[in-house]
Chains A and B, each alone.
Chain A
Amino acid sequence: KNEVEQSPQNLTAQEGEFITINCSYSVGISALHWLQQHPGGGIVSLFMLSSGKKKHGRLIATINIQEKHSSLHITASHPRDSAVYICAVRYRDSNYQLIWGAGTKLIIKP
């Protein structure tokens, strides 16, 4: 069954800490997306990955195809990073539908 599992569901950390959010998926994918949603806000696409690693500012996304696992890292976290982070996967055998994880609610305390 094509699923996407994220962990942790909730994460609270102090400003400056290194943050890791995990995403696991099954079978073969064509792409994995990391997205961000601030409270009451719209959704912003952070990364789209099919292999390797991408970096944008303090955000780093990695994917391990063999282990069917991706991580989103935030370095030097800041209260403005507080948001829900969502992993979404496009499976090859699901008519390329985007399957969404449940999201990780991140709170960074000053």
Chain B
Amino acid sequence: EAEVAQSPRYKITEKSQAVAFWCDPISGHATLYWYRQILGQGPELLVQFQDESVVDDSQLPKDRFSAERLKGVDSTLKIQPAELGDSAMYLCASSSGTNSPLHFGNGTRLTVT
């Protein structure tokens, strides 16, 4: 079964450094989501793409976070500069439409020291 690929699996970085995460959704899935999940809490949507367009980034801290999906396929989420409070699991999910099941990647666990 096709999967959503994310890398790296783990990332440790010092505060004030830049960090980037990559996601490759299931082929043909037009909708891509980036979620942040702090330990013990539910996922928080950071950004939602429909093809290459951002349809919801209302919860994205735009002073330090950026996301792109240039060709409407894979996507990159960047944090610059990283802060201690950014330590969390960053999850990517994709779906074939806004009313279709979500498929999640294994996530990137970020630790900021």
Chain A interfacial positions (CB closer than 8 Å to B): 30-31, 33, 35, 41-45, 48, 86, 90, 95-98, 100-103
Contact = CB atoms under 8 A, between A and B. Distances in A.
B99 A100 contact: no
Interface of B: 42-43, 45, 48, 55-56, 91, 93, 98-107
Contact of B42 (A44, A95, A96, A103): A103
A83 to B, nearest CB: 14
15 contacts: A31-B99, A33-B101, A41-B106, A42-B105, A43-B102, A43-B104, A44-B104, A45-B101, A45-B104, A90-B98, A95-B55, A97-B45, A98-B45, A100-B42, A101-B42
Contacts of A30: 99
Given A33-B101, A43-B104, A45-B101, 6 more contacts: A30-B99, A42-B105, A44-B104, A95-B56, A97-B45, A97-B56
A43 B99 contact: no
A42 B106 contact: yes
B109 to A, nearest CB: 9
Nearest to B102: A45
Contacts of B106: 41-42
Contacts of A97: 45, 48, 56
Contacts of B91: 42-43
